[in-house]
Amino acid sequence: MIEKKVSQGIISTYFSKLERNLDLDVAIVGGGPSGIVAAYYLAKAGLKVAQFDRKLSPGGGMWGGAMMFNQIVVQKEAIEIVKDFDINFESYDEDLFVMDSVESTSALLYKAVHAGATIFNCYSVEDVVFKDNVVSGVVVNWTPVLREGMHVDPINIMAKCVIDGTGHDSEMCKTVARKNGIRLATDTGDVIGERSLDVVSGENEVVNGTKEIYPGLYVCGMAASAVSGTPRMGPIFGGMLMSGKKVAELIIKKLK
């Protein structure tokens, strides 16, 4: 019966995909541009990487350009990355380029999965796993379960490194800070304690802030900038792409 075979095809391959990803090199929380770029370069380097996004359609804030004007502006420093993803672009100003946001977002997603990364959509990461005070995995649940407030336990996915790519909310950094009694720059205007999450400074907070911010936890994209208390930025995406590549390079150096 074709009906049964279709269902079997979906269920059996989905669960083997999930099982293959219970033990990762890198778990990426959030499927925005910075996280997707990281997923691509990590997978290309041969690492086992999975990305979790709470939405049905990963891509974060990239689909909508700015104010739903679906154009993306990037700085010239990011153009090499744009070329790696085969995205069409045109010169707009001396140092600025524009691309179509739908083409750009779908190219990032396609290339990341094609390179070997697995993207799990509709997954919310609600916590991290600690082993000997090192971030060693993520705790995931279905987004609809959390939205409905259903009393359903999550599952654990172990990873050698976790990336916080959750955008402005920097959710994993906040979780790690809360569990360790650390205050973030965003909460207090300063950071306390030897084990503080770093304050970011410099001209390009996104790229400068892309780092291992706590043992096992890396931060990229707007999450890196937000942790420092930097105000919300304008819609220029080159920093997100560069941040994603930088975090991948840091992890490749550590794990390879």
Which residues here bind ligand 48F, judged by CB under 6 A? 29-35, 52-55, 58, 60-62, 124-125, 165-167, 169, 171, 221-223, 233, 235-237, 240
The C-alpha angle 220, 225, 231, rounded to 5 degrees, equals 155
Closest by CA to 27, choosing from 132, 119, 141, is 119
Q: How far is the CB of 50 from ligand 48F (least distance, A)?
A: 12
Q: Which of 171, 35, 16, 221 is nearest to 113 (CA)?
A: 35
Structural tokens at position 167: 């955008």
Instruction: In angstroms, give the least distance from the CB of 90 to ligand 48F.
Output: 19
Q: How far is the CB of 225 from ligand 48F (least distance, A)?
A: 8
Report in angstroms how near the CB of residue 244 gets to ligand 48F at its nearest.
7
Output 82 or 125, the one with its CB closest to ligand 48F. 125
Choose between 3 and 93: whose C-beta lies nearer to ligand 48F. Answer: 93
The DSSP output letter for 63 is: T
Task: Tell me whether residue 151 is annotated as binding.
Answer: yes
Binding residue per annotation — 114?
no
- The sign one gets for the Cα dihedral 146, 120, 74, 220 is positive
**Distance between CA atoms of 98 and 163, rounded to whole angstroms?**
28
Query: Closest Cα to residue 166, out of 206, 220, 217?
Result: 220
Least Å from the CB of residue 165 to ligand 48F: 5
- Is 93 flagged in the annotation as binding? no
Q: Which of 25, 99, 92, 125 is nearest to 108 (CA)?
A: 99
Rg (CA), the chain: 18
Nearer to ligand 48F, 52 or 214 (CB): 52
170 is in an annotated binding site: no
Binding annotation for Fe cation: 153, 168
Binding annotation for NAD(+): 34, 61, 125, 151-153, 222
Binding annotation: 34, 61, 125, 151-153, 168, 222, 232
